[in-house]
Amino acid sequence: MDRLDSELSENDLGDGLKAVGIDRPDSIGALQDAVRARSASGQAMFAQGGRTSLDYGGIPRCAGAIIDTRKLNRVIEYPAADMTITVETGMTLAAIAKVLDAENQRLEIDAPQADRATIGGVYATNSTGPRRYGSGRPRDQIIGVGFVTSDGNVVKGGGRVVKNVAGYDFPKLITGSMGTLGVISHVTVKVRPKPEASALMVFAYDDLNVVASDLAILNTSVTRPVAIELINGPALTRLGLPHSAWAIALIFDDNEASVAWQMQAIRSELAGKVVRDERDQASAPLQGALREFTAERIGPISFVANVPYSFVATLAMSVDSAVWAIQSHAGNGVVRAHALVDDLARLEADVVKLRDLTESVGGNMILSLCPTDRKASLKVWGNPRGDWAWSEKVKAALDPAALMNPGRFVGNI
């Protein structure tokens, strides 16, 4: 993840592969035409937005064309008082934020690299940031979707109203589908008023056992943080925070009175030592740094583990802080780690060991960054799950010729 766009050549498919052609549709109709034409010649299609996750997932199974969505960058409808917005797939999060800003609203998605990441890309990859603890995941915000299937048709699901149970929930199906069912053409998402106040607090720890008990306290805290981040020493250094073995960073969003009260109340609940305590604009740089660190590219491998909330500290305890920089969305059971060393044999051994541990508690571990030549042996999507056979059937139903992003996703998708 996180290669600069200038480091990429325009025909990069990821994993060192080159595209056989590029389409840059500037309307949904043009997108349909492009897909139809590629389909007719049997060419695979790889949708690209801001190209922030170009190497994410399995290796493309065959050569094919790039469908560059960045010219699909318009607002289709923004009824601010309804708290929804419908946009084309190629709009960046930053561009959407600017539109919403005029109405003092925001997206409830704090994915990194907002100036490059497109809304379509965020939905294809299910990209999330620290605030998912308070706001939910992208699937909780989406209420409508359109996607162009390999036959060139626009298929829609959901709609533009916040409550709607007509038809199957394609918006959920498309979220995190890695572009393998079709090219997303547009999405409708819920938006929310910007909070009046925001704060960030960082608590330092020497002992992970104390961290574990403070995480349990946060599960029933009198306060309501919107982000609970667990960070290890090497990650703290890179974030420019005072060194300690571990830290918990909390973000509070609400009105002025509530945020001020929470900042006081949490001090008496947690055992950690407060090392940062920032309000509003002053907290923005560190809030941004936490968000961007999720997409950091340090060593050759990064992983994302999903475990039960209570298991976060146990997993963290098993990760060698000399080898991995850890940032965990601890309230969500998500543990991200970026390799600090280049020793692939060591990293591979850790991946195998830690994956076994996560799977032993019903969790999973994917590799968000992995050298191309290790993707197969290290299984970027983890060990096969029982429901992958059904993912494959759904794929075959909607993309029978397997032309959409072949090779990128789980199983033989």
Residues within window 167-186 making contact with other proteins, judged by CB under 8 A: 167-173, 175-177, 181
Minimum distance from residue 70 beta carbon to other proteins (Å): 25
- From residue 99 to residue 128, the character string flagging contacts with other proteins as x (rule: CB under 8 A) and all else as - is -----xx--------------------x--
Q: Is 271 in the site for other proteins (CB under 8 A)?
A: no
Would you count residue 362 as binding other proteins (CB under 8 A)?
A: yes
Q: Is 388 in the site for other proteins (CB under 8 A)?
A: yes
Please count the other Cβ atoms lying within 10 Å of the Cβ belonging to residue 104.
10
With CB under 8 A as the contact rule, the residue among 193, 206, 209, 243 that binds other proteins is 193
CA distances in angstroms from 66 to 15, 103, 167, 336, 403, listed in the order given: 14, 35, 31, 29, 12
Dihedral class, residue 158 (left if φ above 0, else alpha if ψ from -120 to 50, else beta): left
Span from 37-45, 241-249, 288-296, 326-334 in contact with other proteins (CB under 8 A): 326-334
Q: How far is the CB of 151 from other proteins (least distance, A)?
A: 9
Segment interacting with other proteins, rule: CB under 8 A, options 92-100, 238-246, 284-292, 394-402: 394-402
- Binding span for other proteins by CB under 8 A among 18-26, 214-222, 267-275, 370-378: 214-222
Comparing CA positions, the residue from 335, 358, 304, 356 lying closest to residue 208 is: 335
- For the record, the structure tokens of 209 come out as 């056992």
Give 175 or 198: the residue with its C-beta nearer to other proteins. 175
Rounded least distance, CB 226 to other proteins, Å: 12
Name the minimum Å distance from CB 293 to other proteins. Answer: 18
Please choose, from the candidates 364, 370, 356, the residue with its C-alpha nearest in 3D space to the C-alpha of residue 386: 364
Contact status, residue 246 vs residue 230, Cβ threshold 8 Å: yes
Q: Which of residues 6-65 bind other proteins (CB under 8 A)?
A: none
The runs of H, that is alpha helices, within 361-398 are 375-378, 388-398
The nearer residue to other proteins, 237 or 310, going by C-beta atoms, is 310
Out of 39, 52, 84, 125, the only residue in the binding site for other proteins (CB under 8 A) is 84
Instruction: Give the residue, chosen from 8, 29, 206, 224, that forms a contact with other proteins under the rule CB under 8 A.
Output: 224
By C-beta, is 11 or 209 nearer to other proteins? 209
How would DSSP label each residue in 67-128? EE-TT---EEE--GGGTEEEEETT-BHHHHHHHHHTTTEEES---S-TTT-BHHHHHHHT--
For residues 324 and 409, which CB has a smaller minimum distance to other proteins in the complex?
Answer: 409
| Side-chain-side CA neighbours of residue 225 (13 Å) | 30
Radius of gyration of the chain (CA): 21
Contact pick of 63, 83, 341, 402 for other proteins (by CB under 8 A) = 83
What is the size of the binding site for other proteins (CB under 8 A)?
Answer: 85
Q: Quick one: CA dihedral 400, 403, 406, 408, positive or negative?
A: negative
Q: Does 402 bind other proteins (CB under 8 A)?
A: no
Stretch that binds other proteins, among 14-22, 164-172, 198-206, 339-347 (CB under 8 A): 164-172
314: tokens are 């146990």
> Nearer to other proteins by C-beta: 223 or 321?
223
**By CB under 8 A, residue 306 contacts other proteins:** yes
Long-range CB contacts (< 8 A, 24+ apart) of 316-322? 316/208, 316/211, 316/230, 316/232, 316/246, 317/208, 318/353, 318/354, 318/357, 319/232, 319/350, 319/354, 320/350, 321/232, 321/233, 321/234, 321/245, 322/234
Which two tokens mark 275? 């090392």
Contacts of 214 (CB under 8 A, 6+ apart): 203, 205, 248, 270, 271, 272
Closest to other proteins by CB, 46 vs 311, is: 311
Instruction: Using CB under 8 A, pick the residue from 36, 71, 74, 156 that binds other proteins.
Output: 156
154 binds other proteins (CB under 8 A): yes
In the list 7, 41, 268, 386, the residue contacting other proteins (rule: CB under 8 A) is 386
